[in-house]
Amino acid sequence: MSLRNCKECNHKVSTSASSCPNCGAKQPPRTSRVTWLVLLLIGSIFLASFFTDETPLTKIDRSNIVKAEKTKESEKSETVKLQKPRWRTFDSVNEMTGERSFYATSPPTYSTKPMSFPYTGVEASLTVGCSRDSYWAYVFFTTAPNLTNDETKDGYNLISSRVKWDDDLSTLYLTQEWGSKFLQFRNDEAVVEKIKISEEALLELHWHSQENVYFRFNLNGSTKAINEIFSKCNL
């Protein structure tokens, strides 16, 4: 027989007694072994479910989470496409003649591979300009290009280059006035039509001390921008 202390008078009481023989206070019933076994079993089940990753509910929840994440990524991708930089337009006035010119230009871009000093960070923009009844196309650089595959003419250099319009590779000619930051296309009409129907253009240049240099131009929104300036030039 085991004993325990009375909760009221602290007198020794048998665990089988329902009340204290000293003060008569009722004693809490003894927890049976069966009760302890049931509690232990319930605790084991709870712990097993807590540490198990692959319960049916968990699988369902994870599936929903994966679907939600894919949806978010898809929406994010669509948003990036919608926010893709587009061509912009601007105008300028000749201070001497008062003649107004209008321009449509691509977002500025760097070479596909970084160039070394002194051409580090050079940016380029593909531009179409018009004034009255004429138009032209050129590439503007923040630093004057120093090219090697050119032929010296009277006051300018004639440059042979390649441009890839989407998947269509073609060879064309550009001109550069000595020391200028502009490369002017020789066949303006053909170049402008290519700009309007293509998604991107990749220009190849043989740059001094840099080997081959490539600039990729985004043509998103070019048609709308070009048509806008042409309407102002009566084209």
**DSSP code, position 108:** P
Position 72 in a domain: no
Report helix, strand and coil shares of the chain as percent, to nearest 5.
30, 35, 35
Cis peptide before 118 (omega within 30 of 0): yes
Position 43 in a domain: no
Amino acid at the residue 38: V
- pLDDT for res 23: 78
Position 70 in a domain: no
Domain of 110 in residue numbering reads as 88-232
Position 135 in a domain: yes
Position 23 in a domain: no
Position 159 in a domain: yes
- pLDDT for res 235: 84
What H or E segment, with its residue span, contains residue 45? helix 33-51
Position 63 in a domain: no
Rg of the chain on CA atoms, in Å: 40
Map 114-131 to HEC letters. CCCCCCCCCEEEEEEEEE
Cα–Cα distance, 200 to 220 (Å, whole number): 8
- pLDDT for res 36: 67
Per-residue confidence band for 181, with pLDDT thresholds at 50, 70 and 90: very high
**Average pLDDT of every residue of the chain:** 83
Residue 184: closest CA among 195, 173, 169: 173
Q: How many domains does the chain have?
A: 1
User: Which residue(s) pair with 103 in the sheet?
Assistant: 90, 129
Position 15 in a domain: no
- pLDDT for res 55: 47
Cα–Cα distance, 152 to 159 (Å, whole number): 9
Residue with tokens 């989407």: 166
- Model pTM greater than 0.75? no
* Mean pLDDT for the stretch of residues 177-183: 94
* Mean pLDDT for the stretch of residues 72-92: 69
CATH number for the domain that contains residue 176: 2.60.40.1880
User: Which residue(s) pair with 49 in the sheet?
Assistant: none
